[in-house]
Amino acid sequence: MVSDRGVAKWAFVEEAFQKRGPSNRRSLREFSPEAGPYLRQGDRPLLDFSSNDYLGLAQDPRLIAAATAAMRRYGTGAMASRLVCGSFPLHQQLEEALAAFSQREAALLFSSGYQANATLLPTLFDRQSLVLVDRLAHNSLLFGVQASKAQWRRYRHNDFDHLEQLLQQAPAGVRLGIVSETVFSMDGDRTDVDRLADLADRYGAILYLDDAHALGVLGTEGSGLALRHPRVDVAVGTFGKACGSAGAFVVASRSLCDYWINTCPGLIYTTAIAPPVVAAALAAVQLLPELEPERQHLQAIAAELRQSCRDRGWDCGPSETQIVPLLVGESEQALALAQRLEAAGILAIAIRPPTVPEGTARLRLVLRSDHQPQHLHQLVTVLSEGWV
């Protein structure tokens, strides 16, 4: 409907769809978890190569028991912001466990990784800052940097020479930041945290790293690549991936955490995480050190998948972790391949622009510690038949 002012109120919605084109239009589908590495869609079990449940903890009886006990004790909701009356002993206990696990002075919980990045970064940078962000950093990091109103530039992915050039060009007196993921969510490669820390030290930059896809999977006791790194100023972890729960946290100095309790809107103006979710996350963090065999299996099976793909001439990009992209090119091709896999009982979701750069649509194959060689065989066999 067009108003008297000649404005079609909702035209922008249709325009957005048109701009995106049919092959990049998204819709929601429903899945439910099954035993083992399977998800159910309707009445069909699908072999899961798409969730981020790297260690299979989302269905773990120990997490379920912890969540159930917390729900009995504290109820289903935290009822208020942490700063009002929503801070329970359980939240405190998880923060203490996270600080100890990360060998840091302090930790703070957030409702999600997106919320943490989107609201922490604007407390660190302002108009007088210059923030350098890896070209492939997660949308939440970019969102936070943009919300800070800082000047920002993207450095070429993992290109530390380019990053240094940009640091050298920074005007005198600005506050500098370096922002990256440690394991890149869509490519499965890692950054070199030592190199970033060297540059941050040399140029006096704040180093902010998102360890979402490394936590639980890489590093000593599954502590990721940034959380325990003594020269990373601010490290974020999430519970929605290897920790089988939901929510996120930041680790840093005590004084920074105190600063955020007073300044970070994503902590102040939001209801605290629900007790069952906190308890599941706590159980996961307590379990992580003993999951070394699962981590080793995960890396071994990921290496096996990469090898099988590369032997067949398929492009897995720079993957070196449990995330193995299969680069296909155009969205239509990626969708067609995902559909073919699904028809054969395998779930491998196509990831398309704008989530990934144009021309790099892919299947993001995600390994889990309960995948066995026969699952890889099944995947590779169907891919061999379906991909010319």
Ligand X SMILES: Cc1ncc(COP(=O)(O)O)c(C=O)c1O
List interacting residues with ligand X (CB under 6 A): 112-114, 117, 138, 140, 181, 185, 210, 212-213, 238, 240, 248
Active-site residue among 24, 50, 52, 223? 52
Active-site residue among 112, 158, 185, 223? 185
Active-site residue among 53, 95, 210, 294? 210
Residue 183 or residue 283: which is nearer to ligand X going by CB? 183
Residue 178 or residue 376: which is nearer to ligand X going by CB? 178
| Min separation Cβ 115 and ligand X, Å | 7
For residues 231 and 335, give the distance between their C-alpha atoms in angstroms, rounded to a whole number.
Answer: 42
DSSP helix/strand/coil, 201:
helix
Q: What are the backbone dihedrals phi and psi of residue 49, each rounded to the nearest 5 degrees, phi first? A: -125, 25
| Min separation Cβ 85 and ligand X, Å | 24
Q: Is the separation of the CB atoms in 260 and 119 below 8 Å? A: no
Q: Is the separation of the CB atoms in 227 and 101 below 8 Å? A: yes
Is 9 an annotated catalytic residue? no
Active-site residue among 91, 138, 229, 371? 138
Is 102 an annotated catalytic residue? no
* Angle between the N-to-C axes of helices 292-311 and 373-386, in degrees from 0 to 180, rounded to the nearest 10: 20
| Min separation Cβ 141 and ligand X, Å | 7
Helices (H), 155-291: 160-169, 193-203, 254-263, 265-268, 275-287
| Min separation Cβ 64 and ligand X, Å | 20
Task: Give the N- to C-terminal CA distance of the chain in Å, as an integer.
Answer: 47
Residue 185 or residue 308: which is nearer to ligand X going by CB? 185
% helix / strand / coil in the chain, to the nearest 5?
A: 45, 20, 40
Q: Is the separation of the CB atoms in 313 and 354 below 8 Å? A: no
Active-site residue among 241, 297, 371, 375? 241
Is 213 an annotated catalytic residue? yes
Active-site residue among 213, 297, 371, 375? 213
Is 294 an annotated catalytic residue? no
Is 377 an annotated catalytic residue? no
Using the CB atoms, write b or e for 161-195: b if 16+ within 10 Å. ebbbebbeebeeebbbbbbbbbbbbbbbbbbebee
Residue nearest to ligand X (CB): 113
| Min separation Cβ 212 and ligand X, Å | 4
150: alpha, beta or left? (left if phi > 0; alpha if psi -120 to 50): beta
| Min separation Cβ 239 and ligand X, Å | 7
Residue 208 or residue 314: which is nearer to ligand X going by CB? 208
Q: Angle at Cα 369 formed by Cα 365 and Cα 372, nearest 5°?
A: 80
Residue 86 or residue 266: which is nearer to ligand X going by CB? 266
Residue 129 or residue 238: which is nearer to ligand X going by CB? 238
Q: Catalogue the active-site residues.
A: 52, 138, 181, 185, 210, 213, 241
